Structure 1
């Protein structure tokens, strides 16, 4: 209970402090400073993410870093066990990839500023037309050189087993012809219980060999989904 209290206290104090950290993001938005802005955002977000895990008493064991492609634009595709999956990925994978989030998070003070800075896509799951528009925006984002992380399960499994993948989001790497790097997250559900209590624990993050998205047509999302499920589940 004490750890949980101090974790949430730390989270919101850091969020308030991060308002000062937003100032360089604004200043670095000037023409000619794009690379410096991206480096600053990646460093700041990665540092924040790792600190959240440490504050929870968590440790992350990473294997397979040698499988990361040299090119910086990657579509990471991972299973989704718990609320700490986002900090785990932002803290331990390069590029501070954006991710698809429900539209309600766009209204969360301070947090939404940083989500937008890393290129998160906010989606209205109840509106099919808006969801399609988000996929189109995601394709353009990948083509522009910004990495994205996808969680095809759509929601947290809250346990060691994977839910079935929803195939719609898999059109992003196929349309953009971006390399896919499958990611297995194992144990993250233990760090935060369903009731919000924080617990220490060890999480395994496995980076698998890249999959060439050009080997799939847009009508082959089922085949891609089956392959990703096989690869990701192999490390659970």
Structure 2
């Protein structure tokens, strides 16, 4: 975080923090108290502020590969906690289905994360309970189809904190098989630098929207081969934009 910016705008930062908490309390009490549209639009607007606060410039490549006006499964590498903000900031609701996320259940216990994860469609998986994945994927299928969501999955299972990816877990891709929707492989480049003290000044994050896979292209593939194929696609774009401004 750029601390002089935080000090300069601390009243606004405090307002955002308190507003998130207030809206979350209302949503947990009764989701109809704050409309879904209002929550998504408010959070998207705030992503611009947080990008400025952390000196982050985001450059999107080939975003037209994002399937328009329909649900899909967005599969991305995961370098830092800022990845959520980066993807939300690029989500144009007039063109693409709003983002939903599948995240580990531990996120619900994080005091800061709790202030926003309940404002949008974030579904949780308890990694100690295999049944929770089945239930979560069933709920995710419903969201993809109605009202229409781009569900984000990070198949590494956790942040890598580096440019190199951890191995993709094939089980994370079962949602795409079950929902029978396109898979959009997305490469997030350099976001690990945002919280690394070795990297000072403005950080340029490249987000590459690789060509989407139609269900007919992967339904016949075993999940381990599909995971390897998608990981190789994402890696190729990371290598192309590695540390470029």
User: TM over 0.5, yes or no?
Assistant: yes
- Give, in whole Å, the separation in 2 of the partners of 1:158 and 1:235: 18
Residue 44 of structure 2 is matched in structure 1 by 46
- Give, in whole Å, the separation in 1 of the partners of 2:16 and 2:4: 15
TM-score for the superposition, normalised by structure 2: 0.80
Aligned-pair CA distance for 1:45: 1.6
CA contact (8 A) 1:4 1:198 kept: no
The one of 101, 104, 115 equivalent to 2:103 is 101
Distance 1:215 1:184, change over 3 A: same
Deviation per CA, 1:44-88, whole angstroms, max 9, x where unpaired? 121122221210011101111221222231211101111211100
Aligned-pair CA distance for 1:198: 8.2
Aligned-pair CA distance for 1:112: 3.1
The one of 56, 61, 64 equivalent to 1:63 is 61
Distance 1:2 1:81, change over 3 A: closer
Residue 127 of structure 1 is matched in structure 2 by 129
Deviation per CA, 1:87-132, whole angstroms, max 9, x where unpaired? 0001112344121222232244574363233211111111122233
Segment drifting more, 65-74 vs 161-170 = 65-74
Aligned-pair CA distance for 1:28: 8.7
Aligned to 1:117, what secondary structure does the other structure show?
coil
Say whether residues 1:175 and 2:173 are aligned partners: no
Segment drifting more, 122-131 vs 17-26 = 17-26
CA RMSD of aligned residues (A): 3.2
CA contact (8 A) 1:80 1:155 kept: yes
Any runs of at least 4 consecutive aligned residues in structure 1 with deviations exceeding 6 A, and if so which? Answer: 22-28
Task: Give the count of matched residue pairs.
Answer: 230
Gaps of 5+ in 1: 31-35
CA contact (8 A) 2:2 2:54 kept: no
Distance 1:11 1:232, change over 3 A: farther
TM-score for the superposition, normalised by structure 1: 0.82
- Give, in whole Å, the separation in 1 of the partners of 2:26 and 2:45: 16
- Equivalent positions of 1:67-106 (< 5 A) are 67-94=65-92, 95-106=97-108
Distance 1:102 1:37, change over 3 A: same
Residue 6 of structure 1 is matched in structure 2 by 6
Distance 1:198 1:214, change over 3 A: farther
- Give, in whole Å, the separation in 2 of the partners of 1:20 and 1:127: 31
Segment drifting more, 60-69 vs 129-138 = 129-138
